[in-house]
Chains A and B, each alone.
Chain A
Amino acid sequence: MSIITISRGSYSMGKTVAEKVAERLHYDIISREVLLDASSRFNVSEIKLKKAIHDAPGILERYSHNKQSYIAYIRSALVERIINDNVVYHGLAGHLLLKGIPHVLKVRVNSDLERRIAIVMERDRIPAQEARALILEDDKQRRKWTHSLYGQDPWDTSLYDISICIDKLTIENAVDFICLAVESKEFRLTEKNKQKAKDMAVACRIKAALVDEYPNIGVTCEYGNVLIYMKGKDQMTGKLTKKLNHIRENTNGIHHLETHAGIEPPPEAV
Protein backbone atom coordinates (compact mmCIF):
# COMPACT_ATOMS: atom_id res chain seq x y z
CA MET A 1 0.00 0.00 0.00
CA SER A 2 2.22 2.75 -1.27
CA ILE A 3 2.99 5.30 -3.91
CA ILE A 4 6.00 4.92 -6.19
CA THR A 5 7.38 7.65 -8.42
CA ILE A 6 9.86 6.65 -11.08
CA SER A 7 11.99 9.43 -12.47
CA ARG A 8 14.24 8.80 -15.45
CA GLY A 9 16.25 10.33 -18.16
CA SER A 10 14.69 9.91 -21.60
CA TYR A 11 15.14 6.41 -23.07
CA SER A 12 16.46 5.08 -19.75
CA MET A 13 14.01 2.17 -19.53
CA GLY A 14 12.14 3.86 -16.70
CA LYS A 15 8.79 3.32 -18.40
CA THR A 16 9.36 -0.42 -18.76
CA VAL A 17 10.51 -0.63 -15.14
CA ALA A 18 7.37 1.26 -14.02
CA GLU A 19 5.09 -1.03 -16.02
CA LYS A 20 6.68 -4.15 -14.61
CA VAL A 21 6.56 -2.83 -11.03
CA ALA A 22 2.89 -1.96 -11.41
CA GLU A 23 2.19 -5.38 -12.87
CA ARG A 24 3.98 -7.22 -10.09
CA LEU A 25 2.44 -5.20 -7.26
CA HIS A 26 -0.99 -4.90 -8.93
CA TYR A 27 -0.78 -1.12 -8.68
CA ASP A 28 -2.30 1.43 -11.05
CA ILE A 29 0.16 3.04 -13.41
CA ILE A 30 -0.18 6.68 -14.35
CA SER A 31 1.75 9.14 -16.45
CA ARG A 32 -0.03 11.03 -19.23
CA GLU A 33 -3.40 10.58 -17.48
CA VAL A 34 -2.39 13.33 -15.06
CA LEU A 35 -2.04 15.80 -17.91
CA LEU A 36 -5.39 14.75 -19.34
CA ASP A 37 -7.05 15.24 -15.93
CA ALA A 38 -5.45 18.65 -15.52
CA SER A 39 -6.38 19.58 -19.06
CA SER A 40 -10.08 18.80 -18.59
CA ARG A 41 -10.33 20.18 -15.04
CA PHE A 42 -8.63 23.50 -15.73
CA ASN A 43 -9.45 23.87 -19.40
CA VAL A 44 -5.88 24.09 -20.67
CA SER A 45 -4.61 22.20 -23.69
CA GLU A 46 -2.55 19.08 -22.99
CA ILE A 47 0.25 20.38 -25.23
CA LYS A 48 0.65 23.51 -23.12
CA LEU A 49 0.74 21.45 -19.93
CA LYS A 50 3.25 19.02 -21.40
CA LYS A 51 5.46 21.89 -22.49
CA ALA A 52 5.20 23.45 -19.04
CA ILE A 53 6.42 20.32 -17.31
CA HIS A 54 9.07 19.45 -19.84
CA ASP A 55 10.74 22.63 -21.11
CA ALA A 56 12.58 25.14 -18.99
CA PRO A 57 10.85 28.54 -18.83
CA GLY A 58 11.91 30.99 -21.53
CA ILE A 59 12.78 34.61 -20.76
CA LEU A 60 9.23 35.88 -21.31
CA GLU A 61 7.64 32.97 -19.47
CA ARG A 62 9.57 33.92 -16.36
CA TYR A 63 7.43 37.04 -16.12
CA SER A 64 4.08 35.70 -17.31
CA HIS A 65 3.65 33.07 -14.54
CA ASN A 66 1.76 30.80 -16.96
CA LYS A 67 4.14 27.98 -16.24
CA GLN A 68 3.56 28.28 -12.49
CA SER A 69 -0.18 28.01 -13.07
CA TYR A 70 0.17 24.96 -15.30
CA ILE A 71 2.41 23.23 -12.80
CA ALA A 72 -0.06 23.96 -10.00
CA TYR A 73 -2.80 22.36 -12.14
CA ILE A 74 -0.66 19.30 -12.88
CA ARG A 75 0.31 18.95 -9.23
CA SER A 76 -3.29 19.14 -8.13
CA ALA A 77 -4.34 16.54 -10.71
CA LEU A 78 -1.47 14.24 -9.68
CA VAL A 79 -2.23 14.45 -5.96
CA GLU A 80 -5.91 13.69 -6.63
CA ARG A 81 -4.83 10.61 -8.58
CA ILE A 82 -2.47 9.22 -5.95
CA ILE A 83 -4.68 9.92 -2.95
CA ASN A 84 -6.22 6.46 -3.19
CA ASP A 85 -2.78 4.87 -2.98
CA ASN A 86 -1.28 1.86 -4.78
CA VAL A 87 0.00 3.88 -7.67
CA VAL A 88 3.13 3.94 -9.81
CA TYR A 89 3.72 7.34 -11.43
CA HIS A 90 6.38 7.54 -14.10
CA GLY A 91 5.67 10.96 -15.53
CA LEU A 92 7.90 13.96 -15.14
CA ALA A 93 8.91 15.44 -11.79
CA GLY A 94 6.89 13.09 -9.58
CA HIS A 95 9.54 13.22 -6.87
CA LEU A 96 9.21 17.03 -6.71
CA LEU A 97 5.46 17.34 -7.18
CA LEU A 98 4.76 14.82 -4.41
CA LYS A 99 7.33 16.20 -2.01
CA GLY A 100 5.88 16.26 1.50
CA ILE A 101 3.96 12.98 1.27
CA PRO A 102 6.00 10.59 3.43
CA HIS A 103 4.99 7.21 2.00
CA VAL A 104 6.15 7.98 -1.54
CA LEU A 105 9.05 5.80 -2.67
CA LYS A 106 11.10 7.98 -5.00
CA VAL A 107 13.08 6.02 -7.55
CA ARG A 108 15.51 7.24 -10.19
CA VAL A 109 16.37 4.98 -13.12
CA ASN A 110 19.55 5.85 -14.99
CA SER A 111 20.98 4.19 -18.02
CA ASP A 112 24.28 4.28 -19.77
CA LEU A 113 24.39 7.10 -22.38
CA GLU A 114 25.59 4.77 -25.15
CA ARG A 115 22.69 2.41 -24.54
CA ARG A 116 20.25 5.34 -24.69
CA ILE A 117 21.82 6.47 -27.97
CA ALA A 118 21.42 2.98 -29.41
CA ILE A 119 17.70 2.98 -28.49
CA VAL A 120 17.08 6.35 -30.17
CA MET A 121 19.06 5.31 -33.27
CA GLU A 122 16.97 2.19 -33.66
CA ARG A 123 13.66 3.86 -32.90
CA ASP A 124 14.07 6.99 -35.03
CA ARG A 125 16.46 5.54 -37.63
CA ILE A 126 18.90 8.41 -37.18
CA PRO A 127 22.71 8.48 -36.97
CA ALA A 128 24.50 8.23 -33.60
CA GLN A 129 25.57 11.87 -33.58
CA GLU A 130 22.02 13.09 -34.04
CA ALA A 131 20.72 10.69 -31.40
CA ARG A 132 23.37 11.86 -28.94
CA ALA A 133 22.49 15.52 -29.56
CA LEU A 134 18.79 14.75 -29.07
CA ILE A 135 19.35 13.00 -25.74
CA LEU A 136 21.76 15.61 -24.42
CA GLU A 137 19.36 18.42 -25.34
CA ASP A 138 16.53 16.59 -23.58
CA ASP A 139 18.66 16.11 -20.47
CA LYS A 140 19.64 19.78 -20.58
CA GLN A 141 16.00 20.88 -20.73
CA ARG A 142 15.07 18.67 -17.77
CA ARG A 143 18.00 20.00 -15.79
CA LYS A 144 17.07 23.59 -16.57
CA TRP A 145 13.41 22.97 -15.77
CA THR A 146 14.09 21.49 -12.35
CA HIS A 147 16.66 24.12 -11.61
CA SER A 148 14.49 27.06 -12.56
CA LEU A 149 11.44 25.87 -10.64
CA TYR A 150 12.87 23.98 -7.70
CA GLY A 151 16.53 25.05 -7.59
CA GLN A 152 17.62 21.41 -7.75
CA ASP A 153 19.39 19.09 -10.15
CA PRO A 154 17.34 16.03 -11.24
CA TRP A 155 20.58 14.02 -11.25
CA ASP A 156 21.11 14.78 -7.54
CA THR A 157 20.74 11.37 -5.91
CA SER A 158 19.69 12.84 -2.56
CA LEU A 159 16.29 13.63 -4.11
CA TYR A 160 15.51 9.93 -4.44
CA ASP A 161 15.30 6.93 -2.12
CA ILE A 162 16.95 4.61 -4.63
CA SER A 163 18.85 5.30 -7.87
CA ILE A 164 19.38 2.31 -10.10
CA CYS A 165 21.73 2.16 -13.05
CA ILE A 166 20.41 -0.10 -15.83
CA ASP A 167 23.69 -1.33 -17.17
CA LYS A 168 25.00 -4.29 -15.25
CA LEU A 169 21.64 -4.41 -13.49
CA THR A 170 18.74 -5.51 -15.64
CA ILE A 171 15.18 -4.22 -15.74
CA GLU A 172 14.09 -7.27 -13.75
CA ASN A 173 16.73 -6.51 -11.09
CA ALA A 174 15.48 -2.93 -10.85
CA VAL A 175 11.92 -4.20 -10.42
CA ASP A 176 13.09 -6.52 -7.63
CA PHE A 177 14.79 -3.64 -5.79
CA ILE A 178 11.78 -1.40 -6.02
CA CYS A 179 9.35 -4.09 -4.89
CA LEU A 180 11.60 -4.91 -1.95
CA ALA A 181 12.06 -1.27 -0.95
CA VAL A 182 8.37 -0.49 -1.07
CA GLU A 183 7.79 -3.19 1.56
CA SER A 184 9.72 -1.06 4.10
CA LYS A 185 7.62 0.19 6.95
CA GLU A 186 8.54 3.80 6.09
CA PHE A 187 6.58 3.56 2.84
CA ARG A 188 3.51 1.89 4.28
CA LEU A 189 0.24 3.75 4.39
CA THR A 190 -0.59 4.85 7.92
CA GLU A 191 -3.47 7.01 9.10
CA LYS A 192 -1.05 9.91 9.56
CA ASN A 193 0.36 9.55 6.05
CA LYS A 194 -3.11 9.25 4.58
CA GLN A 195 -4.09 12.49 6.31
CA LYS A 196 -0.97 14.20 4.96
CA ALA A 197 -1.88 13.17 1.43
CA LYS A 198 -5.44 14.45 1.93
CA ASP A 199 -4.13 17.75 3.30
CA MET A 200 -1.78 18.05 0.36
CA ALA A 201 -4.69 17.51 -2.02
CA VAL A 202 -6.66 20.31 -0.33
CA ALA A 203 -3.66 22.67 -0.44
CA CYS A 204 -3.08 21.87 -4.12
CA ARG A 205 -6.75 22.47 -4.98
CA ILE A 206 -6.64 25.89 -3.31
CA LYS A 207 -3.35 26.82 -4.94
CA ALA A 208 -4.67 25.79 -8.37
CA ALA A 209 -7.77 27.94 -7.81
CA LEU A 210 -5.75 31.03 -6.87
CA VAL A 211 -2.52 30.72 -8.82
CA ASP A 212 -3.71 32.57 -11.93
CA GLU A 213 -4.31 35.80 -10.05
CA TYR A 214 -1.90 35.28 -7.15
CA PRO A 215 1.10 33.37 -8.56
CA ASN A 216 3.28 33.90 -5.51
CA ILE A 217 1.00 32.50 -2.84
CA GLY A 218 1.97 29.50 -0.72
CA VAL A 219 -0.64 27.18 0.81
CA THR A 220 -0.34 24.75 3.69
CA CYS A 221 -2.97 22.47 5.12
CA GLU A 222 -2.89 20.50 8.35
CA TYR A 223 -5.89 18.40 9.35
CA GLY A 224 -8.07 20.66 7.21
CA ASN A 225 -6.73 23.91 8.68
CA VAL A 226 -5.56 25.94 5.72
CA LEU A 227 -3.07 28.78 5.83
CA ILE A 228 -2.59 30.95 2.76
CA TYR A 229 0.63 32.95 2.67
CA MET A 230 0.71 35.92 0.34
CA LYS A 231 2.93 38.81 -0.48
CA GLY A 232 2.25 42.17 1.13
CA LYS A 233 0.87 43.67 -2.05
CA ASP A 234 -1.62 40.80 -2.45
CA GLN A 235 -3.36 41.75 0.78
CA MET A 236 -7.00 40.92 1.31
CA THR A 237 -9.20 42.65 -1.20
CA GLY A 238 -12.91 42.27 -1.76
CA LYS A 239 -12.16 40.14 -4.80
CA LEU A 240 -9.92 37.78 -2.85
CA THR A 241 -12.39 37.49 0.04
CA LYS A 242 -15.10 36.55 -2.43
CA LYS A 243 -12.83 34.01 -4.09
CA LEU A 244 -11.84 32.47 -0.74
CA ASN A 245 -15.48 32.20 0.32
CA HIS A 246 -16.20 30.42 -2.94
CA ILE A 247 -13.27 28.03 -2.35
CA ARG A 248 -14.40 27.34 1.20
CA GLU A 249 -17.88 26.47 0.04
CA ASN A 250 -16.80 24.30 -2.87
CA THR A 251 -13.75 22.46 -1.53
CA ASN A 252 -14.17 19.41 0.65
CA GLY A 253 -11.91 18.93 3.64
CA ILE A 254 -11.49 22.58 4.75
CA HIS A 255 -12.23 23.15 8.45
CA HIS A 256 -10.69 26.56 8.79
CA LEU A 257 -9.09 28.98 6.36
CA GLU A 258 -6.75 31.78 7.28
CA THR A 259 -4.62 34.20 5.27
CA HIS A 260 -1.21 35.56 6.22
CA ALA A 261 -0.11 38.58 4.23
CA GLY A 262 3.51 39.70 4.01
CA ILE A 263 4.86 36.48 5.51
CA GLU A 264 7.29 34.23 3.63
CA PRO A 265 5.62 30.82 3.00
CA PRO A 266 7.26 27.89 4.83
CA PRO A 267 9.26 25.42 2.68
CA GLU A 268 6.53 22.76 2.86
CA ALA A 269 3.91 25.12 1.37
CA VAL A 270 2.65 24.25 -2.12
Chain B
Amino acid sequence: MSIIIISSDSEEIEEIIAEKVAVAMDYNRLGSQILTDVAANYQIDPVKLSEALETTPSVFKNMPSRHWRHYLSCIEAEVFDRLLKDNIVCWGLSAHLFVTGISHVMKVRLLSGGGRNIGKIAEQKGITVGRAEKLIADELRQHKKWSLTAYNLDETDPSQYDLVINLEQIDPTEAAITITNAVEYRKFQPMTYSIKCLSNLALAAKVNARLLESMVNIKVQARDSSVVVLTKASNRQKRKKIAAIKELAGDIEGVSYVEVHVKKNILTDATENPY
Protein backbone atom coordinates (compact mmCIF):
# COMPACT_ATOMS: atom_id res chain seq x y z
CA MET B 1 0.00 0.00 0.00
CA SER B 2 2.56 2.60 -1.10
CA ILE B 3 3.80 4.84 -3.83
CA ILE B 4 7.01 4.11 -5.72
CA ILE B 5 8.60 6.83 -7.80
CA ILE B 6 11.27 5.71 -10.22
CA SER B 7 13.75 8.03 -11.87
CA SER B 8 16.60 7.10 -14.18
CA ASP B 9 19.18 8.51 -16.55
CA SER B 10 17.56 6.38 -19.24
CA GLU B 11 13.85 6.51 -20.10
CA GLU B 12 13.97 2.97 -21.41
CA ILE B 13 15.38 1.57 -18.14
CA GLU B 14 12.89 3.65 -16.13
CA GLU B 15 9.99 2.11 -18.01
CA ILE B 16 11.30 -1.47 -17.94
CA ILE B 17 11.86 -1.49 -14.18
CA ALA B 18 8.62 0.37 -13.43
CA GLU B 19 6.73 -2.23 -15.44
CA LYS B 20 8.45 -5.12 -13.65
CA VAL B 21 7.69 -3.59 -10.24
CA ALA B 22 4.07 -2.81 -11.17
CA VAL B 23 3.52 -6.40 -12.33
CA ALA B 24 5.19 -7.90 -9.25
CA MET B 25 3.24 -5.71 -6.82
CA ASP B 26 0.04 -5.53 -8.84
CA TYR B 27 0.24 -1.72 -8.62
CA ASN B 28 -1.22 0.83 -10.99
CA ARG B 29 1.06 2.58 -13.46
CA LEU B 30 1.50 6.32 -13.70
CA GLY B 31 3.70 7.33 -16.59
CA SER B 32 3.87 9.87 -19.37
CA GLN B 33 0.69 8.42 -20.94
CA ILE B 34 -1.26 10.70 -18.58
CA LEU B 35 -0.06 13.73 -20.53
CA THR B 36 -2.92 13.30 -22.99
CA ASP B 37 -5.38 13.47 -20.07
CA VAL B 38 -3.62 16.55 -18.66
CA ALA B 39 -3.80 18.14 -22.12
CA ALA B 40 -7.52 17.41 -22.35
CA ASN B 41 -8.31 18.61 -18.81
CA TYR B 42 -6.42 21.87 -19.13
CA GLN B 43 -6.84 22.44 -22.88
CA ILE B 44 -3.14 22.42 -23.63
CA ASP B 45 -1.32 20.97 -26.60
CA PRO B 46 0.13 17.59 -25.39
CA VAL B 47 3.32 18.25 -27.37
CA LYS B 48 3.89 21.37 -25.27
CA LEU B 49 3.53 19.34 -22.08
CA SER B 50 6.15 16.81 -23.18
CA GLU B 51 8.38 19.67 -24.23
CA ALA B 52 7.98 21.36 -20.82
CA LEU B 53 9.25 18.18 -19.16
CA GLU B 54 12.39 18.20 -21.25
CA THR B 55 13.45 21.77 -21.90
CA THR B 56 14.05 24.85 -19.83
CA PRO B 57 12.12 27.99 -20.81
CA SER B 58 13.42 29.93 -23.74
CA VAL B 59 11.90 32.47 -26.08
CA PHE B 60 13.85 30.91 -28.92
CA LYS B 61 12.14 27.56 -28.30
CA ASN B 62 8.75 29.23 -28.15
CA MET B 63 8.45 28.25 -24.48
CA PRO B 64 8.23 31.39 -22.34
CA SER B 65 8.83 30.93 -18.63
CA ARG B 66 5.25 31.81 -17.74
CA HIS B 67 3.76 29.07 -19.96
CA TRP B 68 6.42 26.59 -18.91
CA ARG B 69 5.56 27.05 -15.22
CA HIS B 70 1.89 26.65 -16.02
CA TYR B 71 2.40 23.46 -18.01
CA LEU B 72 4.46 21.95 -15.19
CA SER B 73 1.85 22.95 -12.61
CA CYS B 74 -0.86 21.18 -14.62
CA ILE B 75 1.22 17.99 -14.74
CA GLU B 76 1.87 18.26 -10.98
CA ALA B 77 -1.84 18.69 -10.22
CA GLU B 78 -2.77 15.64 -12.28
CA VAL B 79 0.02 13.50 -10.78
CA PHE B 80 -0.96 14.40 -7.21
CA ASP B 81 -4.59 13.69 -7.98
CA ARG B 82 -3.71 10.18 -9.13
CA LEU B 83 -1.21 9.52 -6.36
CA LEU B 84 -4.01 9.97 -3.83
CA LYS B 85 -5.33 6.61 -4.97
CA ASP B 86 -2.20 4.84 -3.62
CA ASN B 87 -0.55 1.58 -4.80
CA ILE B 88 1.10 3.27 -7.71
CA VAL B 89 4.38 3.04 -9.58
CA CYS B 90 5.17 6.43 -11.08
CA TRP B 91 7.89 7.28 -13.60
CA GLY B 92 8.73 9.66 -16.43
CA LEU B 93 6.94 12.67 -14.95
CA SER B 94 9.72 14.04 -12.71
CA ALA B 95 7.49 13.38 -9.70
CA HIS B 96 10.62 12.64 -7.60
CA LEU B 97 11.30 16.37 -7.70
CA PHE B 98 7.93 17.72 -6.61
CA VAL B 99 6.48 14.96 -4.43
CA THR B 100 8.45 15.75 -1.29
CA GLY B 101 7.97 15.17 2.41
CA ILE B 102 5.61 12.21 2.05
CA SER B 103 6.82 9.28 4.11
CA HIS B 104 4.99 6.55 2.22
CA VAL B 105 6.61 7.51 -1.07
CA MET B 106 9.70 5.51 -1.92
CA LYS B 107 12.03 7.20 -4.37
CA VAL B 108 14.42 5.09 -6.38
CA ARG B 109 17.04 6.20 -8.89
CA LEU B 110 18.34 3.74 -11.47
CA LEU B 111 21.60 4.28 -13.26
CA SER B 112 21.74 2.56 -16.61
CA GLY B 113 25.54 2.08 -16.54
CA GLY B 114 26.36 -0.38 -19.31
CA GLY B 115 22.63 -0.94 -19.77
CA ARG B 116 22.53 1.96 -22.13
CA ASN B 117 23.81 0.51 -25.31
CA ILE B 118 25.80 3.31 -26.88
CA GLY B 119 26.49 1.20 -29.97
CA LYS B 120 22.76 0.70 -30.48
CA ILE B 121 22.05 4.41 -30.08
CA ALA B 122 24.84 5.25 -32.55
CA GLU B 123 23.38 2.79 -35.06
CA GLN B 124 19.82 4.07 -34.62
CA LYS B 125 20.86 7.68 -35.12
CA GLY B 126 23.46 6.93 -37.75
CA ILE B 127 26.31 8.55 -35.82
CA THR B 128 29.70 7.45 -34.49
CA VAL B 129 30.07 5.89 -31.01
CA GLY B 130 32.02 8.93 -29.81
CA ARG B 131 29.26 11.22 -30.98
CA ALA B 132 26.62 9.03 -29.28
CA GLU B 133 28.57 9.20 -26.01
CA LYS B 134 28.70 12.98 -26.26
CA LEU B 135 24.99 13.07 -27.07
CA ILE B 136 24.15 11.08 -23.92
CA ALA B 137 26.43 13.24 -21.76
CA ASP B 138 24.76 16.40 -23.14
CA GLU B 139 21.33 14.90 -22.49
CA LEU B 140 22.23 14.19 -18.84
CA ARG B 141 23.69 17.66 -18.36
CA GLN B 142 20.57 19.21 -19.87
CA HIS B 143 18.30 17.22 -17.56
CA LYS B 144 20.29 18.19 -14.51
CA LYS B 145 19.97 21.83 -15.56
CA TRP B 146 16.23 21.29 -16.06
CA SER B 147 15.75 19.87 -12.55
CA LEU B 148 17.64 22.77 -11.02
CA THR B 149 15.65 25.37 -12.97
CA ALA B 150 12.27 23.75 -12.38
CA TYR B 151 12.53 22.68 -8.74
CA ASN B 152 15.89 23.95 -7.53
CA LEU B 153 16.92 20.33 -6.91
CA ASP B 154 19.73 18.38 -8.50
CA GLU B 155 18.22 15.12 -9.64
CA THR B 156 21.63 13.42 -9.65
CA ASP B 157 22.07 14.13 -5.93
CA PRO B 158 21.75 10.75 -4.13
CA SER B 159 20.25 12.35 -1.03
CA GLN B 160 17.06 12.92 -3.05
CA TYR B 161 16.44 9.18 -3.14
CA ASP B 162 15.96 6.36 -0.68
CA LEU B 163 17.84 3.99 -2.91
CA VAL B 164 20.11 4.31 -5.95
CA ILE B 165 20.84 1.18 -7.96
CA ASN B 166 23.49 1.04 -10.65
CA LEU B 167 22.55 -1.46 -13.35
CA GLU B 168 26.08 -1.72 -14.69
CA GLN B 169 26.46 -5.03 -12.84
CA ILE B 170 23.10 -5.58 -11.15
CA ASP B 171 20.50 -7.34 -13.26
CA PRO B 172 17.25 -5.32 -13.86
CA THR B 173 15.16 -8.22 -12.50
CA GLU B 174 17.18 -8.20 -9.29
CA ALA B 175 16.82 -4.43 -9.05
CA ALA B 176 13.04 -4.85 -9.35
CA ILE B 177 13.08 -7.50 -6.59
CA THR B 178 15.07 -5.14 -4.35
CA ILE B 179 12.53 -2.38 -4.91
CA THR B 180 9.54 -4.63 -4.25
CA ASN B 181 11.15 -5.93 -1.06
CA ALA B 182 11.96 -2.42 0.13
CA VAL B 183 8.49 -1.07 -0.37
CA GLU B 184 7.18 -3.61 2.10
CA TYR B 185 9.13 -1.91 4.89
CA ARG B 186 7.07 -0.31 7.61
CA LYS B 187 8.43 3.19 6.92
CA PHE B 188 6.84 3.16 3.45
CA GLN B 189 3.40 2.21 4.65
CA PRO B 190 0.86 5.04 4.42
CA MET B 191 -0.19 6.59 7.70
CA THR B 192 -2.95 9.06 8.49
CA TYR B 193 -0.45 11.90 8.70
CA SER B 194 1.36 11.08 5.44
CA ILE B 195 -1.94 10.69 3.57
CA LYS B 196 -3.02 14.07 4.95
CA CYS B 197 0.25 15.66 3.77
CA LEU B 198 -0.28 14.20 0.31
CA SER B 199 -3.84 15.52 0.05
CA ASN B 200 -2.63 18.96 1.18
CA LEU B 201 -0.01 18.93 -1.57
CA ALA B 202 -2.63 17.78 -4.08
CA LEU B 203 -4.95 20.64 -3.19
CA ALA B 204 -2.11 23.17 -3.33
CA ALA B 205 -1.07 21.85 -6.75
CA LYS B 206 -4.65 22.19 -8.05
CA VAL B 207 -4.87 25.81 -6.89
CA ASN B 208 -1.41 26.54 -8.24
CA ALA B 209 -2.32 25.21 -11.69
CA ARG B 210 -5.49 27.31 -11.77
CA LEU B 211 -3.71 30.51 -10.73
CA LEU B 212 -0.70 30.09 -13.00
CA GLU B 213 -3.04 30.00 -15.96
CA SER B 214 -3.39 33.76 -15.75
CA MET B 215 -0.79 34.90 -13.20
CA VAL B 216 2.91 34.67 -12.37
CA ASN B 217 4.86 34.65 -9.08
CA ILE B 218 2.50 32.33 -7.27
CA LYS B 219 3.30 29.98 -4.39
CA VAL B 220 0.56 27.94 -2.76
CA GLN B 221 0.37 26.07 0.51
CA ALA B 222 -2.65 24.12 1.70
CA ARG B 223 -3.74 22.72 5.01
CA ASP B 224 -6.98 20.79 5.15
CA SER B 225 -9.28 23.01 3.12
CA SER B 226 -7.47 26.29 3.85
CA VAL B 227 -5.16 27.68 1.23
CA VAL B 228 -2.44 30.30 1.60
CA VAL B 229 -1.26 32.00 -1.59
CA LEU B 230 1.97 33.97 -1.68
CA THR B 231 2.39 36.39 -4.56
CA LYS B 232 3.98 39.66 -5.66
CA ALA B 233 2.17 42.78 -6.79
CA SER B 234 2.61 46.54 -6.96
CA ASN B 235 0.62 48.75 -4.57
CA ARG B 236 -1.77 49.69 -7.33
CA GLN B 237 -2.47 46.06 -8.36
CA LYS B 238 -2.59 44.63 -4.85
CA ARG B 239 -6.33 44.74 -4.18
CA LYS B 240 -7.27 43.63 -7.64
CA LYS B 241 -4.87 40.70 -7.50
CA ILE B 242 -6.05 39.55 -4.06
CA ALA B 243 -9.66 39.60 -5.22
CA ALA B 244 -8.82 37.68 -8.41
CA ILE B 245 -6.86 35.04 -6.48
CA LYS B 246 -9.65 34.61 -3.94
CA GLU B 247 -12.20 34.20 -6.69
CA LEU B 248 -10.19 31.71 -8.73
CA ALA B 249 -8.97 29.65 -5.77
CA GLY B 250 -12.32 29.76 -3.98
CA ASP B 251 -13.97 28.09 -7.00
CA ILE B 252 -11.86 24.97 -6.67
CA GLU B 253 -13.46 21.94 -5.11
CA GLY B 254 -12.17 21.31 -1.57
CA VAL B 255 -11.14 24.93 -0.86
CA SER B 256 -13.11 26.60 1.93
CA TYR B 257 -10.79 29.47 2.92
CA VAL B 258 -8.22 31.47 0.95
CA GLU B 259 -5.61 33.74 2.46
CA VAL B 260 -3.42 35.86 0.18
CA HIS B 261 -0.07 37.31 1.20
CA VAL B 262 1.29 39.92 -1.17
CA LYS B 263 4.91 40.93 -1.31
CA LYS B 264 5.64 44.31 -2.78
CA ASN B 265 6.91 44.15 -6.32
CA ILE B 266 9.53 46.91 -6.33
CA LEU B 267 10.16 46.74 -10.07
CA THR B 268 6.56 47.31 -11.15
CA ASP B 269 6.13 49.92 -8.43
CA ALA B 270 9.07 51.84 -9.83
CA THR B 271 7.69 51.80 -13.36
CA GLU B 272 4.14 52.64 -12.35
CA ASN B 273 4.89 55.33 -9.76
CA PRO B 274 7.99 57.39 -10.55
CA TYR B 275 7.56 59.52 -7.39
Binding site for B on A (CB under 8 A): 102, 108, 110, 112, 155-158, 160-165, 167-170, 173, 176-177, 180-181, 184-187
Contacts of B163 in A (CB 8 A): 162-165, 169, 177
Contact B164 A163 (CB under 8 A): yes
Contacts of A181 in B (CB 8 A): 170, 174, 178
Q: A177 vs B178: C-alpha distance in the bound complex, in angstroms?
A: 7
Number of residues in B with C-beta < 8 Å to the partner? 27
Q: A177 vs B174: C-alpha distance in the bound complex, in angstroms?
A: 11
Binding site for A on B (CB under 8 A): 103, 106, 109, 111, 113, 156-159, 161-166, 168-171, 174, 177-178, 181-182, 185, 187-188
Q: A167 vs B187: C-alpha distance in the bound complex, in angstroms?
A: 10
Q: A173 vs B106: C-alpha distance in the bound complex, in angstroms?
A: 13
Contacts of A158 in B (CB 8 A): 111, 113, 166, 168
Q: How far is the CB of B188 from chain A (nearest CB, A)?
A: 7
Q: How far is the CB of B91 from chain A (nearest CB, A)?
A: 18
Contact A157/B171 with A165-B163, A169-B182 known, Cβ cut-off 8 Å: no
Find B162's partner among A165, A180, A184, A186 (CB 8 Å cutoff): A165
Q: A167 vs B185: C-alpha distance in the bound complex, in angstroms?
A: 13
In this complex, which of A169, A170, A185 has the most chain B Cβ atoms within 10 angstroms of its Cβ?
Answer: A169
Contacts of A165 in B (CB 8 A): 158-159, 161-163
Contact A110 B158 (CB under 8 A): yes
Q: A45 vs B205: C-alpha distance in the bound complex, in angstroms?
A: 60
Contacts of B159 in A (CB 8 A): 110, 112, 165
Contact B165 A161 (CB under 8 A): yes
Contact A162 B162 (CB under 8 A): no
Contacts of A110 in B (CB 8 A): 158-159
